Every structure is written in structure tokens, then in C-alpha cells.
Amino acid sequence: MAERQANSSQRQMILPFVDQPGGLLKALHALQNASPAHFLAPSDLKLVAEVFGVPEAKVWGTATFYSLYSTSPRGRHIIRVCESAPCYVVGAMDILKVLEETLDVKPGETTGDGRFTLEVASCLGVCGVAPALMVDLDVHGNLTRDRLNAILAEYA
Amino acid sequence: MKYYRAHVLICSGSNCAIKGCRSVKQACEQEIIRHGLQGEVQVVDTGCLGLCDQGPALVVYPEGVMYGRLTPSDVLEIVSEHLLKGRLVHRLMQQPTGPAGEVSPLSMTPFFQKQKRVVLKNCGLIDPERIEDYVRAGGYTALATALDVMTPERVIAEIKQSGLRGRGGAGFPTGRKWEYTRVAAGQQKYIIGNADEGEPGTFKDRLILEGDPHLIIEGMAIAGYAIGATRGIVYIRGEYELSIHRMELAIRQARENGLLGEGILGSAFSFDLEVCAGAGAYVCGEETALIESIEGNRGEPRFKPPYPAEKGLWGQPTSVNNVETLANVPSIIEQGALWYRSLGTPNSPGTKVFTLTGNIVNSGLIEVPMGITLREVIYEIGGGIPDGKKFKMAQTGGTSGGCLAAAHLDIPMDYDSLQSHGSSLGSGALLIMDDTHCIVDLTRCFLKFFVHESCGQCTPCREGTPALYHLLGKVSAGAGGHADIQLINRLSRTMQSSSLCALGQTAPVPVLSALQHFWPEVEAHLNGRCPANKCVMGKAAGKIAN
């Protein structure tokens, strides 16, 4: 019953996008933003396919193409460490290593308490303050080993 | 209008926001009120000043004194000393003072002296969230001029004559692109502003959008008038939250003031604009992939021809222009093609916005005339290499650009000169690396990016990028031989000639330039030695991390 209700509220959420040109990506954004585990569940993708009247394969293909969508559950906060060249040159790999050790996860994994998912990302576009990472929508730059714990502490 | 005796302009761009400009601004405003100065001193949010490394930063006018690397407590001193008593706070100043203690103008400091600001003319000077500020700085007069006294053909002729070329990387002449779109048959034409800035080391479009969003609206409206488009879309990276916010705000303000919508400025021209947020894919910077993404599909590039000018968004004639390209348009309309041609070089007129990153003292955003040398950029504007290290190499144009060595420091930075040295101007990213880095190790890092970002549609790119990455891993581990180098060369040529889009065509550029300009260092790896001592010899090679 609860599941059916959730399904119906999600349907309401994406209906406005059906008639919008290119609305599929917006629907995926909306569903993922509403997901407590920050991901698109198989049931979400099935729903999008049904509401938009397109094959489920197309929805999966689109959702897995873009790096901002995830099809597996993630933690409460998502850490995205930039590993592109400008960050790499000024020590991004050390930052990633410290995070891996501190959180005891590898990129793509979620901590046991469900607090953080660690991801590596391509250039975040704040190279003026490299090395940089994003936690959710916040960008943190000029990273040093010593600052990482204070940054993590901001996210419960 | 209210007059103030002093203005405090605080950079509110992303790079400064990361460094805490919000709390600096708050402290500043509170302290001004505490001293009862709120009627005399105005605090204004502005766009990027360019010295991202020295953020959070602010400039106090009328003196034009820049203070940098500020904490909220520093600001208390600036308010009580500078704003209240008129004494400069030397320890926080970012510019030298003369013998009599006079401040040299910001424009005369080494960082700004060689710059020429056309695209960034308002960045750091106006509040990007206030349309009044943009108009007061002369904004929207170019649009009025175009609508009032120029035919669309005349606008295109002016842009063609100016020699403006695309600033996103390919360098295609903008006027010709517009002309093709104008003459193409179609019911509804579109202009798209490309702000899907994904090239590593590039953050110019972000800071242009954050610092002067109305300039892009004006440039796009003029472009729309020229090509006959009544609708425009600004496609902005999903990660660029502040850019999206400021652009949407500026669009609302422009609509309220009759600068977007029906019958703009009393003319017969109607034009409206919307923002479309990306979802994270480097390849969507390619114009046809971007169009696919706007249409709600996987961002896979299309076969060309037909080019977007003929069949673009929803099958209609579409001009896709980079944000920086569009930002040049109002100045060209206002000051003319001849003025524009007086800047830069004959084949690359105008200015270029560069982003300085890596091992450089002043990392940040600069705008210089085309044709300036790499040496001037690195040593005069950029302040040189930090920590007493030596310059080793610079990668121009982003990760898809070539690596240049010390021998190339004096070549002019323009489209053709860089191309003739196996590199490119690209998006204007400049990654500077000191002599502690290894060319093979770095090239692997570049390739890893392409392995991740290849869209997988065409075989040369999908298979070629991981194969190159694997081969470089072998070389890095001291397990490579001359046969591997030959294979790298052959594979690179194949990818360049047969990949569907620029991603696969340019992915081998850093590899080939590394082999060409740094061969002795690469060869040392074939003999089991990494001169920079970065590569771990004998380590199992080639596993591709995700």
C-alpha cells in the first residue's frame, strides 16, 4: 500500500515533464532529488518509461549515460573528488587516498553507517582553488590532508 | 540615486565562495553598521577579479585598493582603519605602494597590466545580480544599436569582418556559422549558448556567467536577431549551481525590463531565453551531443553533415556558440569590427580568456590579447613557478591539448601558432607543471579522463582510449618497448582520422605531443628509468580504474 502511494506521488512529480520538450532528463533529476538514497531505483526508471511512453531500455540508457545520475543507492552525503589533471598536478591523489583511509571505502562505495558515498569525478570547474572536491552541492577547494576531517565533520 | 563616498566590491565568484567570501561579506557589513558607516559606504557583490588564489578578495574604491586572502577578522581592521580613518592596511594589500605611500592603480600591477578586458570588462566591477548595474555600465546599448540601425545581414557582416572565432575550442568563424544558420530553411531557428564547460582546467564560462550574466543575454539576443531565431537556450553544466541561479535571475530581470520577450525595445524582434541544466557528461560540450541532451537523450554526437546550422535542435537550423564567443559580440557591435581587429593577431583577432592552473603563483582567470607569449603569461601575469621550482611544461587548451616544453615559451598564443606546434588554443585552459612531474605519468592521467568520458558510440574512441591508457601504463611501469611506442603512434593516428567527434580525435593529442617534445624522458622509461622518479617501475601495469 505504502509503495503504491509512493509510486503515485512520484507519478505526480514527473507528469509535468511529459509534455515538455526534452523533459526526460528533468524527470530523472526530479526523481533522484526526491530519493532519500540519492539514486534512481529500477521502479523509478520503469515508471518514467511508462509515463513517457518510451522503452525502458531508453530510460536506462539515458540514466546511466550521465555521471550525475546513479542507479545504485548512495549515502546521505556524496563526496566527489576531482581527479582531472589540474587537481592531479597539485596532489588530488593524496587527498583521495586520505579519504579512502579515513572512511575505509574505495571510490563507488558507501560507508557502513550510510553517511558518505565516495566518488571520483572529472573536472569540477573550480581549478583556481585545486585540489577540489564537492560534498553534495558544496565545493571545497585548496584541500590539504589536515583540512579533510574538519570538512567531513560539517556533514552529519 | 544615492551616492556613497566609498564602495567595497567583494568577489562572489565560485572560487572565492569556496574560500569563504560569504562570511567576509557578512563581517564587513556588520562592522560598517557598527561604525555607523552604512550611509557612506556601500558593499557590493561582484564577479571574479581573476586572482582566485588570493581569495576571498575585495577592492575598496575610489582608491582601488585590493585586499586578499581575507578572514572575517581581517575585515574588521579594513573597516576600522581604511574605511573609517583612511589608512591603508598594508599587510593585507595585494599591490605595491610608491615612495610616498601612494597606491599604484590595480590596472598597473603585474597581474593586470598586460591584460585587456573585453569579455571580462564588467567582472569585478558590477553586481551581477542587478540589471541596473549592467545598464549603467553601458549594457544593452549594443542590442539597441543592432535593432535600431542594423539589418540582421549587417550584424553578420560586422561579426564576419571582426574575424571573431569560436572560443570553445574549434575556432570556427562565428560570422560564417551565423550566416549558414540564417540562410538555412526552417520554421523555428535556435541559438544555443554552450556553457557545458567540461574541459579540465577550464572555468572561464562559469566565471563569466557568474560575473556578468546580462552580457550573455545581450550577446544571444543579438545572435538571435542576426540568424532569425526567436528562441535561445543556455546549456549550463549541472554542477554550476551559482551560474544557473544568476543566469535564471538575469533572464527574469531582462523579461521584466522588456529586453526579452515580445517586441524588444519597441522593435518587431521577439526573443526569449531559457536555461537547461546538464547532467554530467564531458562529451555534451560537443555541439550535436549537447543538442541530443537538450532533447532528453543520451548525449551522443551525431554524424555531420548535416551540421546544426542546417538541422540542429528538433531538426531546425541552430547556431551553437560558446559563452565566451557570445560575450564578445556586444563589444564588437558597439565598437566595430576594425576596433576588434586592432586587438590580437590577423588570423586570431581579439582577446582570449585563459584559466591558469597547476604549479603557478597566480592561479586564476585572465584575459589577454591573442598572440601574447606563454612566457609573458606564466612569468609576468602568472607570477612564475612557486617554491623555487623550474618550469617543465605547459598543456594548452585543456586535457585535449598538447604539451609544450620550455623551448616553446616564446611562441604566440593564437589558434594557428599553437596548432603548428602540435597543441591547440582550445578552451583557454593553461596547465603549468614544474620539474617534479613525469611526462608519462601525466599523460596517463590525461588518458584516464578520456577513458571515462568517451561516450562509447564509435569504436576508435571507445576502444582506442583504454588501449592507449593501457599502453602508457606499460611504459610507465618500465615494461614498454619500442614496439609499444609504434603501436601508440599508429593507434593515435587511427583515432584522429576515424573517430566520430572531437573527443576521440583530440584524445591522442597530449600523447603525441609528449612523444614529440619529451622523447628522451619517454625513452628513459623504455630503459626502466623514470627521471622524475614518479613512476613505479615494475608495478603491474594497465588496470583501468573507474
Q: The domain that contains B41 carries what CATH number?
A: 3.40.30.10
Q: Could you tell me if residue B239 is inside a domain? A: yes
pLDDT at B510 over 80: yes
B508 and B488 in a common domain: yes
B380 and B286 in a common domain: no
Q: Could you tell me if residue B360 is inside a domain? A: yes
Q: Could you tell me if residue B70 is inside a domain? A: yes
Query: What pLDDT band is residue B407 in, cutting at 50, 70 and 90?
Result: very high
> What does residue B217 show for φ and ψ, rounded to 5 degrees?
-60, -45
pLDDT at B424 over 60: yes
Q: What is the pLDDT of residues A109-128, one digit of tens each?
A: 999 999 999 999 999 999 98
Cβ of residue A137 closer than 8 Å to a chain B Cβ: yes
B279:A67 CB<8 A: yes
Cβ of residue A53 closer than 8 Å to a chain B Cβ: no
Minimal CA–CA distance to B202: which of A140, A126, A22, A18? Answer: A126
pLDDT at B64 over 50: yes
B188 and B67 in a common domain: no
B191 and B281 in a common domain: yes
What is the number of CB-based contacts under 8 A between chain A and chain B? 149
Q: Return mean pLDDT, chain B.
A: 94
Q: Which residues of A touch B314 (CB under 8 A)?
A: 21
> What does residue B47 show for φ and ψ, rounded to 5 degrees?
-85, -175
Beta bridge partners of B273: B232
- Tell me the shortest Cα–Cα distance from B182 to chain A, in angstroms: 23
Closest residue in A to B49 (Cα) is A128
Q: Could you tell me if residue B164 is inside a domain? A: yes
Q: Could you tell me if residue B307 is inside a domain? A: yes
ipTM of the complex: 0.93
Q: Could you tell me if residue B532 is inside a domain? A: no
**Chain B stretch 445-504, residues whose beta carbon is closer than 8 A to a beta carbon of chain A:** 445-446, 448-449, 452-453, 455
Q: Could you tell me if residue B1 is inside a domain? A: no
B376 and B276 in a common domain: no
B444 and B424 in a common domain: no
pLDDT at B1 over 70: no
A62:B297 CB<8 A: yes
Q: What is the pLDDT of residues B459-468, one digit of tens each?
A: 999 999 999 9
Q: What residues contact residue B248 under an 8 Å CB cut-off, 6+ apart?
A: B275
Domain that includes residue B281, residue range: 131-341
Mean pLDDT calculated for residue range B2-9: 91
CA distances for B371 relative to A68, B343, B410, B417, angstroms: 38, 9, 10, 9
B257 and B201 in a common domain: yes
Q: Could you tell me if residue B321 is inside a domain? A: yes
Name the domain count of chain B.
4
Q: The domain that contains B384 carries what CATH number?
A: 3.10.20.600
B462 and B366 in a common domain: no
B14:A126 CB<8 A: yes
For residue B60, how many C-alpha atoms fall within 13 Å in the half-sphere facing its CB? 25
Minimal CA–CA distance to A87: which of A136, A143, A45, A44? Answer: A143
Cβ of residue B314 closer than 8 Å to a chain A Cβ: yes
Prediction pTM value = 0.94
B477 and B333 in a common domain: no
Q: The domain that contains B201 carries what CATH number?
A: 3.40.50.11540
A85:B445 CB<8 A: yes
Beta bridge partners of B202: none
